[in-house]
Amino acid sequence: MPSYALRTPMPAAVPAAVLNETASPATKRRTPVQRLLALLTVVVAIAALGACTAPRSSTKGQQIANIARAQVGKPYSWGATGPNAFDCSGLVYFAHRQAGITIPRVTGSQYSAARRVAKSDARPGDVIFFGTYHVGVYVGGGQMVDAPKPGTRVTQRPMWTSAYTVGRFN
């Protein structure tokens, strides 16, 4: 009667290169611990790359700032929301809309709807309010992009007074 006892399978022949310590890493077999360490190295590297990228909100803010900057040189026109001309709130409205954020159209409504942010926490894409009569997009470094007044063009310039409020929609 045949025996059905369990037997350990015979190991396959191991190539000499695997046994040779000087073999290339591509031909060496790794132990489970070595494979785990290699996998952890990849995971840590990917996590480190993620830590180097900006959070979604600041990326969206930079997108808003870039859209506003792209309008520099276009003429001011009262009530205009782009893409060829703007008034101040129309520029802010346009930049946010192009970035996929819906905000109110006019300065007073934008002021009421925006979440207040400390001046020290201002970042690109935030909205700079001068009361409820003028508004611009903060682009960083103490600079904003705005459509100043009739007869001018959209411009990038420093904030001319410290009497402003910072708001954020994203």
Q: Quickly state the pLDDT bin for 17 (edges 50, 70, 90).
A: very low
Section 81-106 average pLDDT: 98
pTM of the model: 0.67
Percent pLDDT > 70 in the chain is 70
Taking only the tens place, the pLDDT of each residue in 101-148 is: 999 999 999 999 999 999 999 999 999 999 999 999 999 999 999 999
93 vs 30: which has the higher pLDDT: 93
Q: In the chain, at which residue ranges do the beta strands (DSSP E only) sit?
A: 115-117, 127-130, 134-140, 143-146, 155-158, 165-168
**134 vs 30, residue with greater confidence:** 134
Over residues 49-63, the pLDDT tens digits come to 444 444 445 699 999
Task: Give the pLDDT band (50/70/90) at residue 29.
Answer: confident
Q: Averaged over 159-164, what is the pLDDT? A: 94
Beta-strand (E) ranges in 45-133?
115-117, 127-130
- Selection from 12, 146, 23 nearest residue 74 by Cα: 146
Which pLDDT band, with edges at 50, 70 and 90, does 30 fall under?
confident
Residue 44 pLDDT: 54
Of 112, 113, 127, 109, give the one whose Cα is nearest residue 164: 127
- For the chain, what is the mean pLDDT? 82
